[in-house]
A = this chain, B = another copy of it.
Amino acid sequence: MPAQLIDGKALSASIRDHVATEVARLKSNRMAVHLAAILVGDNPAAKVYAENQTRTCAQVGIEYSLLLLPESITQQELHATLVRLNEDESITGIMVHMPLPPHLNPQEIQYGIDVLKDVEGVNPANIGQVVYGQTIIAPATALAAVECVEATGFTIAGSEAVVVGASRIAGKPIALLLTERGATVTLCHILTRDVAAHTSKADIVVVAVGRPNLIGKNHIKPGAVVIDVGINRITSTDAAGNALHKTVGDVNFAEVSQIASHITPVPGGVGPMTVAMLLKNTLRAAKLVYRLENPFTK
């Protein structure tokens, strides 16, 4: 029996609607939601992403300012820019596009973002609050993955979950959020001897590695919920020699969709949900900044 698709596009649309309503309500109370994004240097991919973000924010009524800073900026200058944005009362959210040029220390920069304005949840203090089970703002990708699980109606508490990939912005926070929700979580990574030994017993498998076809049908227990965080762009050529571009996840969808109970497609799964969760985080940040919500209560 083929798995049910977790429709990230539809879920994302309903979250965006909710955000748009709330942003409008704040605006009518003269509390504008304003996201400032910093882009250092001349990275064409990051620029495309930033342009998409302008449009996405506009759709839900969030003001968006993109600060283009020169490649040559020093750590001190970039930090000073953050301090200015932290103190600017008209700015309710801040993000810094990665990767930064190699002479800048990303940890130190992320640490400089005001905890309440940190819409990506990358300030170590925000990550620590996730560990403490007292999330203020969590990374959007991690929230997106967990939201996809919850959308299935599956009960996370008491379940067995395996997260494959231990990155800072995806795997680790996903493991922490699933633990917070009561799952027994195993975090696999590049040094794991036998990934299938773990995933094949799990009720929930979340894959966030960035390698096409990493997870096949032998990795998955029949009836499991499978969340594919990977976004891989692959190129092949057709019989006529034309290049074909395709976006695939880390999961062999054709195989795994035959045995999983629920699965996210790529594209159309975790990707659009991540965009939606970033908007939701931006709303949350604004509510914290305007003291409509308390950071120490959810």
CB pair A187–B184 under 8 Å, yes or no, is: yes
**A111 contacts B by Cβ under 8 Å:** yes
Number of copies: 2
What B residues does A173 contact at CB under 8 A?
131
CB pair B184–A184 under 8 Å, yes or no, is: no
With both beta carbons as reference points, the residue of chain B lying nearest to A132 in the complex is identified as B168
A157 vs B192: C-alpha distance when bound (angstroms)? 9
A129 vs B184: C-alpha distance when bound (angstroms)? 23
**A158 contacts B by Cβ under 8 Å:** yes
- 8 Å CB contact of A186 from B124, B126, B127, B185: B185
With both beta carbons as reference points, the residue of chain B lying nearest to A188 in the complex is identified as B184
A133 vs B125: C-alpha distance when bound (angstroms)? 14
Which residues of A from 126 to 141 have beta carbons under 8 Å from B? 126-134
CB pair B131–A172 under 8 Å, yes or no, is: yes
With both beta carbons as reference points, the residue of chain B lying nearest to A160 in the complex is identified as B193
- 8 Å CB contact of A172 from B126, B179, B183: B179
A187 vs B186: C-alpha distance when bound (angstroms)? 7
With both beta carbons as reference points, the residue of chain B lying nearest to A131 in the complex is identified as B127
**A242 contacts B by Cβ under 8 Å:** no
What B residues does A185 contact at CB under 8 A?
186-187
A180 vs chain B, min Cβ distance (A): 9
A176 vs B124: C-alpha distance when bound (angstroms)? 14
**A49 contacts B by Cβ under 8 Å:** no
With both beta carbons as reference points, the residue of chain B lying nearest to A203 in the complex is identified as B193
**A231 contacts B by Cβ under 8 Å:** no
The interface bits of chain A over 162-197 (1 if a CB of B lies within 8 angstroms of the residue's CB, else 0) are 000010100011011001001111111101110000
CB pair B186–A191 under 8 Å, yes or no, is: no
**A237 contacts B by Cβ under 8 Å:** no
CB pair B127–A296 under 8 Å, yes or no, is: no
CB pair A296–B157 under 8 Å, yes or no, is: no
- 8 Å CB contact of A132 from B127, B186, B192: B127
CB pair B105–A296 under 8 Å, yes or no, is: yes
CB pair A187–B179 under 8 Å, yes or no, is: yes
With both beta carbons as reference points, the residue of chain B lying nearest to A110 in the complex is identified as B132
Interface residues in chain A, defined as those with a beta carbon under 8 Å from any beta carbon in chain B: 105, 107-108, 111, 123-134, 157-158, 160, 166, 168, 172-173, 175-176, 179, 182-189, 191-193, 198, 296
Q: List 9 A-B contacts (CB under 8 A).
A: A107-B132, A107-B296, A124-B128, A127-B128, A128-B131, A133-B168, A172-B176, A184-B188, A184-B198
A-B residue pairs, 10 tightest by C-beta = A124-B128, A127-B128, A128-B128, A125-B125, A186-B186, A184-B192, A182-B191, A124-B125, A158-B191, A127-B131
